[in-house]
Chains A and B, each alone.
Chain A
Amino acid sequence: DADVTQTPRNRITKTGKRIMLECSQTKGHDRMYWYRQDPGLGLRLIYYSFDVKDINKGEISDGYSVSRQAQAKFSLSLESAIPNQTALYFCATSGTGGANVLTFGAGSRLTVL
């Protein structure tokens, strides 16, 4: 099984719909992250959580919310999806020591029509 699992892997939805992307990890890490990737723009941080009771906005949090249900689970919600939220979304986790290397999930491709 993958260290970081994202569901769904692909989703097509319509403007105004509520969407939840789920992420779970088996690495036992406290830190989890949601990134968005758009062609030509690289990875941008949406939200991050350093433990179950800690939630922080990243550089592009508007239009998104998150929930840290447990150490292993971190979900991203789009309350009312809009077309410019069409992107590839990555969940990641990291440990607390040394290089704090990110381990990414396989990604969730979201298309908002």
Chain B
Amino acid sequence: GQNIDQPTEMTATEGAIVQINCTYQTSGFNGLFWYQQHAGEAPTFLSYNVLDGLEEKGRFSSFLSRSKGYSYLLLKELQMKDSASYLCAVRDPNETGGSYIPTFGRGTSLIVHP
């Protein structure tokens, strides 16, 4: 089975930087995803890491260390609209769906206040 851990909730101030961590324990690894989900809406894709290192995309960056089973999502210049849940998801070739389907963590609810 898989174990994917992320903090349940975080708060931050508009304009600041926040780092959302995700740790995972899997028997295999074939990619890690971050999705954003606003309340009552569909999750939307943010980032994908399959190799170690940092992937930057505008205000959002995602980091992966496969040896440590660790990833983080970094959000810079926070805006009120960034208040949402952030879902970490890991693909494990040894799990349901093989190399193609990620298993999701429980999500981190980020609250951005003025």
Inter-subunit contact A106/B48 (CB<8 Å): no
A58 CA to B102 CA in the complex, in Å?
A: 11
Inter-subunit contact B87/A107 (CB<8 Å): no
Inter-subunit contact B31/A107 (CB<8 Å): no
User: Is A102 an interface residue when CB atoms closer than 8 A count as contact?
Assistant: yes
Interface size class of A (residues with CB under 8 A): 20 to 34
User: Is A45 an interface residue when CB atoms closer than 8 A count as contact?
Assistant: yes
Inter-subunit contact A56/B97 (CB<8 Å): yes
On chain B, the number of residues with a Cβ less than 8 Å from chain A's Cβ atoms is: 25
Closest to A107 in B: B42
A-B contact count (CB 8 A): 55
B87 partner, pick from A42, A57, A100, beta carbons under 8 A: A42
Residues of A contacting B107 in the complex (Cβ-Cβ under 8 angstroms): 42
A48 CA to B97 CA in the complex, in Å?
A: 8
User: Is B104 an interface residue when CB atoms closer than 8 A count as contact?
Assistant: yes
Give min CB distance, A34 to chain B, whole Å: 12
Known: A42-B107, A99-B31, A99-B48. 16 other contacts (CB 8 A): A31-B100, A33-B101, A42-B104, A43-B43, A43-B87, A43-B89, A44-B104, A48-B101, A50-B100, A56-B96, A99-B50, A101-B45, A102-B43, A102-B45, A102-B102, A104-B42
Interface residues of A (CB under 8 A from B): 4, 31, 33, 40-45, 48, 50, 56-59, 90, 94, 99-107
